[in-house]
Every structure is written in structure tokens, then in C-alpha cells.
Amino acid sequence: MAESSDFTARDARTAAEFAADVMVEQIARVYAQAALDAAENQAASADLVAELESLMSDVFDRLPQFEAILASARIGYDEKAALIDKAFQRQGSPLLKNFLKVLARHGRLDCLRAIVRQARRLFDQRNGVVDVRLTTAAELDPAVQTTVAAALQQSLGGRPRIVHAVDAKLIGGAVLRIGDTVYDGSVAAQLKQLRQQMIDRSAHEIQSRRDRFRHSAGN
């Protein structure tokens, strides 16, 4: 009974954490959309997204204490606004600073990383950019990469942003991941599929022999 109760408690915690994550992403999307809409044009939107991503990699990743201060609920808006002005006195666009202050006023700086992810996703969607991960068994020649990019652009109807990786375990062929969809055309995948087909065929033949034997024994 105790084990069952512990399992139920773990399930409840997992469900609560999942719900919280979903809520954060929903909130982040709203603010990300507002930020992109505040930009005057596509170039300004691109600059803002680049600034936000730079803030994550160049500041927050290197100075986690700075991120913790901005995200803290114990620090008021005035103090955070002053800190933003001081930190971005010589760099950072007015749009970036104003956006950070809006988040501070609404107590949403703790969602900033999620907002940056959503901003990139929305910007790419608006500009027809599609993330593609291409994995092959060996390096591809630049000419082949250009051909692949052109073919993907034509088939996807957008601008593919291709990340190429090498995995010798594939033996040959390629694995293409477009968004959440995976197209596995590798030799390894084909061999795995062939092996499964042989196993299924053998199992079917064994079962057929058993059925024939039982039928003969019954007669």
C-alpha cells in the first residue's frame, strides 16, 4: 500500500511539473509575440532575437548570479530597472531594455529563457525558416550540401537551416530530421528493418508448422 501511495505521489508531482512547464511556455509565447510585434520591421525583429540569444549565452550562462537576481521575486521593479539600465548602459538596444523592464514590471523575468526560445521559434515561423538536422555516415562535399539544401528548400517551401552531423554507425545513407519528424534512410535502419522482417517471417513459419502438427495429431 505504501509503495502504491509513493507511486501516486510521484505521478502527481510529475503531472504538476509538466503542467507548470506548459504554462511557462504558454506565457513565454505571449511575451515573445508581443516583443516581435513591437519591432518596427523584420530587421529590428532579427536584431532583437539576436540580442536576446546573446544575453543568454554571453551574460546569463557566464553570470548565473545576475540571472538569479533578475528572476528573484524578492527584488522589486525599481531595483531591477536600475540594474538593467546600468548593465546595458553601453550596449543593448532601447527595444531590448524596454522589453526587459516590461518583464520586470510584470514579474516575468524568471521566464526569460523560455521567452527567448519562443521568440526564436516565432521569428523562424514568420520568416519560413525550418530547422533540419541531417546525419550521414561520412562528411558531405560542399557541392552535395548545396544540392541537398536546394532540394529541401524546394520541397519544404521554406528556408532550411541545416545542421549536419556525422555518425559512422549509420554505415551509409542518411537520417533527416525536420522539426519533430524523422526520415531514416540509413543502411543501418534498413538492416534493422530486414532483420525484423526475417524474425517475423520465422515466427510465422514456426506457428504454421505447429498448427499443421496439431491438425495432423487431431486426425
Q: Pairing between strand 174-178 and 159-166?
A: unpaired
Is residue 45 within 8 Å of residue 124, measured between CB atoms? Answer: no
Digit-coded pLDDT (tens) for 50-63: 999 999 999 999 99
Burial of 205 from C-beta contacts in 10 A (0-12 / 13-18 / 19+): exposed
- Taking the C-alpha atoms of residue 94 and residue 39, their distance in angstroms, rounded to an integer, is 11
- Tell me the pTM: 0.67
Strand partners, 177: 133, 182
Element of type H or E holding 183: strand 181-184
Give one DSSP letter per residue of 107-155, joined into a string.
T-GGGHHHHHHHHHHHHHHHTTEEEEEEEESSPPPHHHHHHHHHHHHHH
Please count the residues of the chain.
219
Residue 152's pLDDT band, with cuts at 50, 70 and 90, is: confident
Digit-coded pLDDT (tens) for 101-147: 999 999 999 999 999 999 999 999 899 888 889 888 888 888 888 88
Digit-coded pLDDT (tens) for 23-42: 888 999 999 999 999 988 88
Average pLDDT of the chain to the nearest whole number: 83
pLDDT, position 21: 72
